[in-house]
Amino acid sequence: MSMQRKSLLEVIKETVLSHLTKKCPPQVQVVGLLCRTPKKESRYELLRRVAAGGGSFKGENGLKIHIPGANLNDIANQADDLLE
């Protein structure tokens, strides 16, 4: 497979996943964000912003990130459900 085709498929995959994620309930979106956040301090900051109602923020890489507001208990329950 050529690099150009691989890059195009990667863009398509990310676009589809992004659209699907936006249709998920907020607690599912937050669990996904937490799973993609490598630093412990960044995960804590993410949860603080979620608990404060969410919003749009600038990420470490300069990209705009939308963080949904969600109930922390709902997030914990969702994470438990996914682990089971």
d(CA 41, CA 69): 19
Contact 44, 38 (CB under 8 A): no
Helices (H) and strands (E) in the chain, counts: 4, 2
DSSP secondary structure letters along 37-61 = ---HHHHHHHHHHHHTTEEEEE-TT
Amino acid 76: pLDDT: 93
| Per-residue pLDDT tens digits for 3-50 | 899 899 998 988 888 888 888 899 999 998 899 889 999 999 999 999
